[in-house]
Structure formats: C-alpha cells, structure tokens
C-alpha cells in the first residue's frame, strides 16, 4: 500500500464520456424476450457482465414488488447502529479503536453502507473511497458508488474485479482504494450470486402476464360485434359493413346498407384476475421467498403467529447480511485506515453492527414475579436494561417502588390459629386488642417463634438460589429458563430447608399443646 499512497487520493473510476465507462446506457429491459434473457445471463458468466448489471438496475425500477422487497432487505442492515471494538483493553488498542470510530462517524459512512447493499441484487458492489492525506490521521471519505458496468472480472477465476481502462483493456484496482462488497448469498462466482439473477425469469414471465392482462382489460366488457350480410352482397357492401363494425368501437355509431345487420354478443367469461392476476400474484410470492425468505410479512399476513415465525426467518437473513457487511468494512476500510496511521498490526479493531434483541416483557415479568419472592436475587440495573429503562436520578420524579413488606397478616393468621387452641381465652382477648403492640404476650411469643423459624434461612436456601443463578447465566432466553426451572428445582438439595421447616412446625405444635397460660 505504501508504494501507491498518491493513488489513494482523487478519483480513479470516474465515468468517462465516450469511453468504456459511460454513465448512461440504453435500456436492456424494453422489448426483452426469453432468448435475450438467456443471452444476458450466459454472457455475464462467460463474457462482459455489463448487460446483466444494467438489467439488474432496471428491474428495481420496473418491477415494483421486487424493488420493494429488495429495499426492505437493504434497509434491514443499513438502519442498524454500529460500534468499533478494540483488540484488547490496552491504552494503545483503545486509542486505535476510538480513532476508527471518529473516522467513520457522519452521513458519508451511512452512504457507504447503502452503496454496499447494492451488491444484494447484482452480486457485487464497488465503492471508491477518496483518502484525505492532508490531515492527520489519514481519513477515508467521499465514498462514491461506482456503476458495476465500469468493471469486469479476470478471465481465469471470474472473481477478481478489474477496472475497464479508458483506452480499452482491464486495469488492476489500487489496493486500499475501493470497498468491494461481495455477499456470499450462495457459493459461486460473484456475478452468479446476485438476487437479480434468481428473479430474472420471474420478471420475464410477469412482464408477459401483465402485458396480456392489459390487453384483456382493454376489451373486457365490450360486446363482440358481428356484422351479417346477405349472400348477394358485393365486396363493396362487405367492406362498408366491416367499416361500420369497426367504427362502433370508437364512434359509437355507424350506418350500414339495408338488408344487413350487426349483432352484439355480450362476453360472459370470468374475470381476468382469475388467470392473469393469480399468476402475477404467484410470481410475486416467489420473488418474496427469494429476497426475504418468506411471504407472510409481505404478501399474506393472515396469521400473527405465522407472521412471527416468518419474520424470524427474515431476521436470520438480516443477520447473515450484517455479518458479510462487517467483514467487508473491516477488510477494506478499517485495516487500511489503521495501517496508514498506526502501521501494520497483528490484529485490528472489529466492526460490529448492533442487532437489537427484543425482550419478551410479559415472560420477564412473570418470571420475576414467581422467582423474586422465593429468594432469587437479580441486579436492578440488569432488569432496567432489558426493559430499556434508565436508572432514576436523585432529582427525577419516579413511579412505582416496592413497599416495605408487612408481617401483620401473617401474625394475625397465626394468632387466630393459636387462639383457637388456647383454653383460657387469653389469645382471643389479645386479638380484640392492638395486635401490633410490642407489649402483647401473644405477639411477643409469635415473634419469637417466627425469628426462631427463620434462623439461618439464607444458608438453608443458598444451594437453591445458587442453582437458579447458574441456570439464569446458562440460558439464552426466558423461555428456555422457564422450561428448565422445574428440572433445577426438582434436583436441588432442600434437605436443610425441609428439616428446618419440620422443626419449626414441631415447636409450634408443642407450644400450642402445652400452653399453660
């Protein structure tokens, strides 16, 4: 790269009027026949792919359904937030990662990601980056999308893109000068990977279908006009009758010789969408499957449950597209930037697209309501993060907050039980007075029994809580956590808790039986 530093600035693949890199091109879709389509697809592999790239660009404009679903797939990646991760926690690596982050900030980098997504339809996208060598550090920028028609591939492997020279022939691309995105939608050479190649025949069949449908709609509902003439009619009479029949369509009136008549036969055939519409709809669904991997969120959507399953399929595709984009940005942007400004290194910062993981708030709330009262300890900040809530400040107005636990209901219940067994009636009398008073003998007795029963409860439940904590760390979702919770609780060692509860119950029963007050 050092030998070509001067070439990193300025434009190398700009359009040239009258040369091999013309900005405009004649339409290849107008009047396209199946034979033409076969020739374009074959030529893209064996010869110059320019015709295929032109076709791929045009059908995004001509086929509204394909353009819409392809744009949806592109935006699924370009809308994601991003971050740069340092190689390690050393001050130098953090400094490099911060420098990369600063270099990539701005709307220009967003345009780069949009330019890269053009590869989904065509199999490859090439963006020229103009390095600013007047600043320190060197900064990439002015990312310019370049028409794929300006490039061809090497004849040996058909995988290495090369620039079409002004005077003919192919020129090697300057290293570090281009961001070349070739998503591996399937194995094979780049020009065979584009989605436009997969939907090409759908486009041809849909074009013929819509053309026939338009012709049908033009005459649908109009009665068939049949002119009848006598056997003795001359050729001139027949000509006049035909002219009258044809004139009715546009003039709504005509004259014919006496002895001739015109009959109107009303069409009773079915509606055109029964044939043309269903075929066009079928082809659109196949296109949705090719581009998005499903049809439920674009064509059907009758079932929310099915749509959620289909949406997960689309998420899988988005994740794969994001991984391809991360690899390209690391290779063609971050590595040259770090090398130019910090020298060659063994490892380079990683670029990450942040894919949001939606939380099931209902499942989270249910799990917490069941587990927190039974001793599970969780960080409040961790729960806030999953709910997307910030930690309130000292001056913030807050909502909610757990009230202090009260033992009064439990005391009252115990007192009722104890009073029912008390022969002298002192417990019943105590219940009629203030039960919360610290001078109440029954209250003091119950408090003492309660304290005795709870003595050492944290140590007794520690194996269970530890097992639940380990399960929470091991699970990737709340659904998995809830599914495995019963297994963990069944296998937990509850012997200490069981013995403590049995002892407390025995003491309480003995106290009730031998109460001599």
Residue 358 has pLDDT above 80, yes or no: no
Q: What CA–CA distance (Å, rounded) separates 314 from 291? A: 9
Listing DSSP states for 18-43 in one string gives TSS--S----SSTT--HHHHHHHHHH
Q: Please tell me the predicted confidence (pLDDT) of residue 322.
A: 96
**Residue 284: which residues within 8 A CB-CB, separation 6 or more?**
65, 206, 299
Q: Please tell me the predicted confidence (pLDDT) of residue 72.
A: 93
Residue 46 · residue 290 · CB < 8 Å: no
pLDDT-derived band at 337, boundaries 50, 70, 90 = very high
Q: Which residue has the tokens 């794929």?
A: 148
Q: Please tell me the predicted confidence (pLDDT) of residue 445.
A: 63
pLDDT digits (tens, 9 = 90+) for 58-88: 999 999 999 999 999 999 999 999 999 999 9
pLDDT-derived band at 459, boundaries 50, 70, 90 = confident
Of 279 and 443, more confident = 279
pTM for the whole thing?
Answer: 0.65
| Alpha-carbon separation of residue 456 from 263, 331, 452, 460, 497 (angstroms) | 104, 59, 9, 6, 9
Residue 167 · residue 11 · CB < 8 Å: no
> SS3 for 112?
helix
Residue 191 · residue 52 · CB < 8 Å: yes
Q: Please tell me the predicted confidence (pLDDT) of residue 402.
A: 56
Q: What CA–CA distance (Å, rounded) separates 367 from 461? A: 19
Mean pLDDT of the region 91-102: 96
Q: What CA–CA distance (Å, rounded) separates 201 from 330? A: 36
Q: What CA–CA distance (Å, rounded) separates 514 from 517? A: 9
pLDDT digits (tens, 9 = 90+) for 281-295: 999 999 999 999 877
> SS3 for 396?
coil
Residue 405 has pLDDT above 50, yes or no: no
Mean pLDDT of all residues in the chain?
80
Q: Please tell me the predicted confidence (pLDDT) of residue 258.
A: 60
Q: What CA–CA distance (Å, rounded) separates 161 from 180? A: 9
Half-sphere exposure at residue 297, Cβ-oriented, CA atoms within 13 angstroms: 18
pLDDT-derived band at 478, boundaries 50, 70, 90 = confident
Least confident range from 109-113, 117-121, 335-339, 425-429: namely: 425-429
pLDDT digits (tens, 9 = 90+) for 252-307: 555 556 666 666 655 555 555 678 889 999 999 999 999 998 776 555 554 555 44
Residue 453 has pLDDT above 90, yes or no: no
Q: Please tell me the predicted confidence (pLDDT) of residue 253.
A: 59
pLDDT-derived band at 320, boundaries 50, 70, 90 = very high
Residue 379 · residue 407 · CB < 8 Å: no
Mean pLDDT of the region 486-493: 74
**Residue 335: which residues within 8 A CB-CB, separation 6 or more?**
348
Q: What CA–CA distance (Å, rounded) separates 473 from 491? A: 18
């Amino acid at each position: 790269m050092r030998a070509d530093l001067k070439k990193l600035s300025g434009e190398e693949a700009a359009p040239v009027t009258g040369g091999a890199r013309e900005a405009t091109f004649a339409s290849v879709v107008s009047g396209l026949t199946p034979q033409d389509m076969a020739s374009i697809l074959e030529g893209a592999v064996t010869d110059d792919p320019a015709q295929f790239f032109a076709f791929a660009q045009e059908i995004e404009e001509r086929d509204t359904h394909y353009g819409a679903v392809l744009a949806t797939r592109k935006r699924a990646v370009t809308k994601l937030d991003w971050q740069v991760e340092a190689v390690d926690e050393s001050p130098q690596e953090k400094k490099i990662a911060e420098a990369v982050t600063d270099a990539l900030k701005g709307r220009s980098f967003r345009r780069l990601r949009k330019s890269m997504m053009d590869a989904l339809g065509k199999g490859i996208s090439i963006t020229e980056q103009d390095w600013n060598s007047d600043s320190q550090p060197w900064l990439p920028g002015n990312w310019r999308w370049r028409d794929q028609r300006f490039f061809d591939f090497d004849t040996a492997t058909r995988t290495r893109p090369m620039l079409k020279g002004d005077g003919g022939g192919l020129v090697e691309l300057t290293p570090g000068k281009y961001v070349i995105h070739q998503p591996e939608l399937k194995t094979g050479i780049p020009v065979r990977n584009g989605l436009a190649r997969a939907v090409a025949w759908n486009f041809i069949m849909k074009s013929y279908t819509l053309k026939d449908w338009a012709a049908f709609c033009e005459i649908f509902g109009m009665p068939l006009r049949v002119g009848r003439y006598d056997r003795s009619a001359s050729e001139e009479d027949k000509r006049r009758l035909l002219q009258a029949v044809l004139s009715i369509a546009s003039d709504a009136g005509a004259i014919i010789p006496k002895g001739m008549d015109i009959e109107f036969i009303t069409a009773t055939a079915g509606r055109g969408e029964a044939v043309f519409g269903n075929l066009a709809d079928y082809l659109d669904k196949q296109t949705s499957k090719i581009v998005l991997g499903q049809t439920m969120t674009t064509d059907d959507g009758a079932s929310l449950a099915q749509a959620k399953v289909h949406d997960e399929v689309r998420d899988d595709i988005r994740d794969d597209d994001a991984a391809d984009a991360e690899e390209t940005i690391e290779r063609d942007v971050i590595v040259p930037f770090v090398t130019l400004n910090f020298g060659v290194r063994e490892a380079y910062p990683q670029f990450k697209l942040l894919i949001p993981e939606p939380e099931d708030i209902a499942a989270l709330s249910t799990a917490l309501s069941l587990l927190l009262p039974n001793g599970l300890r969780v960080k409040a900040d961790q729960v806030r993060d999953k709910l997307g809530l910030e930690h309130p400040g000292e001056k913030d107005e807050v909502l909610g907050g757990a009230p202090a636990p009260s033992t009064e209901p439990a005391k009252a219940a115990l007192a009722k039980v104890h009073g029912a067994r008390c022969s002298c009636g002192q417990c019943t009398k105590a219940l009629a007075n203030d039960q919360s008073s610290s001078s109440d003998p029954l209250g003091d007795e119950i408090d003492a029994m309660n304290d005795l029963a709870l003595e050492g409860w944290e140590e007794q439940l520690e194996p269970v809580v530890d097992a639940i904590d380990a399960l929470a760390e091991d699970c990737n979702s709340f659904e998995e956590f809830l599914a495995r919770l019963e297994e963990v609780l069944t296998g937990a060692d509850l012997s200490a808790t069981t013995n403590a509860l049995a002892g407390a119950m025995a003491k309480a029963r003995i106290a009730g039986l031998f109460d001599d007050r």
